[in-house]
Every structure is written in C-alpha cells, then in structure tokens.
Amino acid sequence: VQLVESGGDSVQAGGSLTLSCTASGYSFANGCVAWFRQRLGKEREGVATMSTRGYGTWYDDSVRGRFTISHDNGRRAAYLRMNALMVEDTATYYCAAEPNVWFAGQCSAQREYSYWGQGTQVTVS
C-alpha cells in the first residue's frame, strides 16, 4: 500500500490549494481517511478526518470553515481543499488512512492510522 500526496505549493495568504492523496494497492472505501500537518518545530497535528462510509467529518478548530476533506473511491484518491490560507497554515501535510472501520465516531485524529504518505509542503506567505 502506498499513499502519495501532491498539490503542495507556495501561495500568498488568502489563496487556495487542493492537496491530493493517491493510493496504490488500497481503496479508501469502508475506512477512515485523514489529513495531518506538521509545522516547523511543532508536533504533528490532525487537520481533518472523514469516514468513507459516510459517517461524517471532523475538522480542527483552526481550519473549520476553510478546509474541506473529501474522497473519490473510483479514483482511489482523497483531497483536502484549503481556502483562505493563512501564514500559520504553513506546514508539511500528510494524508493517512485506516481500512475496515465500520462504525460511526471512529475516525478521529487520535486513532491509529496504518497507512501514511510522505508529505507535501505548503508554504503561505
């Protein structure tokens, strides 16, 4: 299983980006997908999570209303649409996935995720 993020870039504050996470050897169906980020000198933090069974999404307070997580099982991809970017959004962003999660309320940022991408850099100035 391999997850590959793309879409990171350098943008001005107020701009938008869409990050993509493409999976090989894995389907996002019936599990959890999440986006994390790690800002310079800080620990990795959860940004957004979703149940690919349709049980909902979660967003950190710092991004709620600006970021949107989504997935496309047919394309084996997950996305993070980021609007109204701020300097403090500068970080390396990682996608993560956990298969076989069948019930509501289990796709949190605190759960264990088995699969991780290598990260993509977002710089906002």
- Model pLDDT for residues 10-54, shown as the tens digit of each residue: 999 999 999 999 999 888 888 999 999 999 999 999 999 999 998
Strands (E) in the chain, as ranges, are 2-6, 10-11, 17-24, 31-38, 45-51, 56-59, 67-72, 77-82, 91-99, 115-116, 120-124
Residue 82 has pLDDT above 90, yes or no: yes
- % of the chain at pLDDT higher than 70: 100
